[in-house]
Amino acid sequence: MVDTLQVPSDRIHAGKNVLVTGGASGIGLGIVKRMLAEGANVASLDLKPTVAADTTNLLSIVASATDEADVEKAVAEVVTTFGGLDVMVCNAGVIAIAPVTDMEFSEWKRVTEVNLHSVFLGSRAAARQMVSQGRGGVIINASSGAGRRGVPNLSAYCASKAAIIMLTQSLAVELAPHKIRCNCYVPGHIETPFWNDIATGFSKVTGQTPAEVIEGFKASVPWGRFGTPDDVARTVSWLASDNAEYVSGQAIAMNGAEFPF
């Protein structure tokens, strides 16, 4: 599947300053491209450089979303470069696939550190900056359909993604007096390089080939296809826009009706 970016007819994020964690590939890169196309100044924090066709308003920050000092420095760099922070997207994530009886504690900690701790660090740093600016803002965090229902062999991933929804809902209530909106996006099966790891991991525990694993997951989607990064990015764009000004504390799914809740 080719993930094409549908060029928007208007630049709804013109003048906004956006920071995306995990923005160098997959869903994160899709969000970076969409926000750039819609007029935003975008910074991407990732362990790898972020490359996009439109680099005029792109700031690539090579750092770790799980390092407290790195996250705080990234927010400070965004403010210095662009003049403020309006939208924070905490997107960085990893996965581990194993029965709970076989999972090493080090793997459990790795998944929760990247998936959950990075969201706390990014949300906290963004909230501090937005409160100090006094003009509100938007924090958007990456959950998953696996954060809404248990999946065998994904205990660490499911637990971390469920915790993100609760963290986001708590932040929404806490930060509402400052006019800072906090929401989650909840992707289903999105076609990204992530699926190489998923297919390999499930192949080991199910005995299927990686290709069979992918076809099985695709067959579970009523819409008939995997989603694309831009399917997710368009929802994130809406949540970041003034059109969603009264939306906060929500977990919005895009999953081709696979789990309709």
Q: pLDDT tens digits for 63-80?
A: 999 999 999 999 999 999
- 7: pLDDT strictly greater than 70: no
Give 39-67 pLDDT, tens digit per residue: 999 999 999 999 987 678 999 999 999 99
- pLDDT at residue number 19: 98
Quick one: pLDDT at residue 2?
Answer: 43
Q: Select the more confidently predicted residue: 148 or 52.
A: 148
Query: pLDDT exceeding 70 applies to what percent of the chain?
Result: 95
Q: What is the mean pLDDT of residues 102-130?
A: 97
Q: Does the pLDDT value for residue 31 go beyond 60?
A: yes
Written as six digits, the tokens of 258 are: 């696979």
Q: How far apart are CA 44 and CA 20, in angstroms?
A: 5
Please say if the pLDDT value at position 258 is more than 90: no
- Average pLDDT estimate for 87-107: 96
pLDDT band at 260 (very low <50, low <70, confident <90, very high): low
CATH of domain 17-192+228-254: 3.40.50.720
* Distance spanning both ends of the chain, measured CA to CA: 26
CA distances from 249 to 93, 138, 150, 168, 239 (A): 21, 11, 22, 6, 11
Q: What is the pLDDT, as a whole number, of residue 205?
A: 86
Domain boundaries, the chain: 17-192+228-254
Average pLDDT (243-255) is 96
- Separation CA 9–CA 137 (nearest Å): 24
Given this model, what pLDDT does residue 261 score?
Answer: 52
| Arithmetic mean of pLDDT, 214-234 | 91
**Known catalytic residues?**
157, 161
Q: What is the pLDDT of residue 3?
A: 55
- Compute the half-sphere exposure of residue 223: CA atoms within 13 Å on the CB side of its CA: 15
CA angle 111, 42, 60 (to 5 degrees): 65
Tell me what the pLDDT averaged over the chain comes to.
93
pLDDT of 1 reads 44
Q: Are strands 41-46 and 58-62 parallel, antiparallel or unpaired?
A: parallel
pLDDT of residue 8: 53
In the chain, what percentage of residues exceed pLDDT 90? 79
pLDDT at 256: 84
